[in-house]
Amino acid sequence: MNLLTYSNVLHKLDSNKFKILNIDILKFITEKIENSYIFLYTVVYKTFFNDNLIETYKEFINAKEEKEKKLALLKLLQEFKSKSISIGGRYDKKETNWSKQLVKYASNVLSFANEGEYIARTLNLSKDKKTSTFKLVDINDISINIEGTRTNANSKKINDYVYKFDKKYVQKELNEILFKNFNLDNYSMSETSHIAEDLASLKIEKIIKETNKEEYISKYEQNQFIERITKSRNNNIQRTFKDGLLKNNSHKCPICGFEYEDFLIASHIKPYAKCDDTYDAINNYNGFLLCPNHDKLFEGARLMTIDANTGKIILSQDVIASKDFGYLNDTYVDKSLVECERRHYLKWHNEEFSRHNKIKL
């Protein structure tokens, strides 16, 4: 949020409220994860340009010998430190420069698209013999890191968006301000999901993973895969379905009130793959407009359902125990949303939820 404020995309009104100043850039950033990186790269590049750091960064990225590269990196650090300003801390501590402070972050942003070396802060630690704990002696400002050495090999599931990241798309979009040349003549952009959906998926998958129920996870993921493939092959039906929801419902998530329309997802109550005919698939009463988080919870009738008679939100035990979503249990959506044809589809959803969670509603 500090970076978006610094870039004049948002204006901070108070600690919890922001005014959108540039809706076009915000839409671009949130369209896909690659676009958020393109935005970040452009901000860093422009900052380096304004602070006359571009040539020094070029020395670092183009240096052939390790010694030459380290000297260029130290030169970049010294120049950067003399010009860097604070744009707010990670926890809004104004005395820190978290978002734009260290040449480490700025250099790594530029290095990713240019396929250069990554930068790490290096620490000197001493071990306390009595407590077997480590204490910080001092910080060596920066050093060249080897890509991937700090990544947990078992984190692939949670970090899946990194593996799907389309670097060639990024390089093509940033071609004019890259420091290296890449042959992208035969490149074609692959289809990606919305960044908000990706981030919501990570949250939900983390909850599922923490339950440590391998069979449950496997079946859940299979269902999600089938659901995604089905949607991708029936774009016209999905578009008609969402148009009906937008035309006949308030443009906000009925669970949390989230109103940013570009993030709202047309969520089927009874999935298209299980619908008996096209009428059910496109019927706006067979769905809700949900924010990405609650779409992922509602999808598949495993983690959350909405009582067909009362509109009460009911969560699985695993979700109730989570700090992110537990508060939703036993809250209600507007009763008018269930006092209509939607009740028919919600009864199916309630039954599926009961079956998966082995409870009776």
98-148, pLDDT tens digit by residue? 334 466 778 888 988 998 887 765 555 566 777 766 565 554 544 555 444
Question: What pLDDT sits at residue 328?
Answer: 92
- Residue type at position 290: L
CA end-to-end span of the chain: 41
Residue 185 pLDDT grade (very low, low, confident, very high; cuts 50, 70, 90): confident
Q: Report the SS3 class of residue 272.
A: helix
Of 130-134, 164-168, 175-179, 241-245, give the lowest mean pLDDT range. 130-134
Are the beta carbons of 122 and 139 closer than 8 angstroms? yes
Give dist(CA 144, CA 60) in Å, integer: 11
Question: What pLDDT sits at residue 349?
Answer: 96
CB-side neighbour CA atoms (13 Å) of 290: 23
Which residues face 10 on adjacent strands?
Answer: 20
Are the beta carbons of 227 and 300 closer than 8 angstroms? yes
> Is the backbone of residue 305 left (phi > 0), alpha (psi -120 to 50) or beta?
beta
Helices (H), the chain: 2-6, 23-31, 33-50, 54-62, 66-83, 103-114, 160-163, 167-173, 195-211, 214-232, 235-248, 278-282, 292-298, 317-320, 342-357
Mean pLDDT of 146-161: 45
Question: What pLDDT sits at residue 188?
Answer: 67
Paired tokens of 99: 């978002």
Residue 296, pLDDT above cutoff 70? yes
Paired tokens of 158: 């949670």
Give dist(CA 149, CA 256) in Å, integer: 40
What's the angle, vertex CA 140, arms to CA 139 and CA 146, rounded to 5? 115
Question: What pLDDT sits at residue 151?
Answer: 44
Give dist(CA 260, CA 84) in Å, integer: 34
Q: Which of 99-108, 210-219, 286-295 shows the highest mean pLDDT?
A: 286-295
pTM of the model as a whole: 0.53
Are the beta carbons of 41 and 115 closer than 8 angstroms? no
- Residue type at position 7: S
Are the beta carbons of 343 and 350 closer than 8 angstroms? no
Residue 223 pLDDT grade (very low, low, confident, very high; cuts 50, 70, 90): low
Question: What pLDDT sits at residue 42?
Answer: 94
- Residue type at position 36: S
Residue 158 pLDDT grade (very low, low, confident, very high; cuts 50, 70, 90): very low
Give dist(CA 197, CA 64) in Å, integer: 41
Which residues face 314 on adjacent strands?
Answer: 305
DSSP state at residue 308: T
Between the alpha carbon of residue 125 and those of residues 103, 131, 143, 229, the distances in Å are 22, 14, 16, 50
Residue 206 pLDDT grade (very low, low, confident, very high; cuts 50, 70, 90): low
Give dist(CA 245, CA 287) in Å, integer: 7
Give dist(CA 178, CA 170) in Å, integer: 10
Buried b (16+ CB within 10 A) or exposed e, 15-36: eeeeeeeeeebbeebbebbbbe
| Residue given tokens 């947990």 in the structure block | 152
- Using only C-alpha atoms, the chain has a radius of gyration, in whole angstroms, of 24
Give dist(CA 128, CA 206) in Å, integer: 35
Please, what sign has the CA dihedral across residues 222, 37, 92, 252?
Answer: negative
Residue 287 pLDDT grade (very low, low, confident, very high; cuts 50, 70, 90): very high
Q: Is 257 exposed, middle or buried (0-12, 13-18, 19+ CB in 10 A)?
A: exposed
Mean pLDDT of 337-355: 94
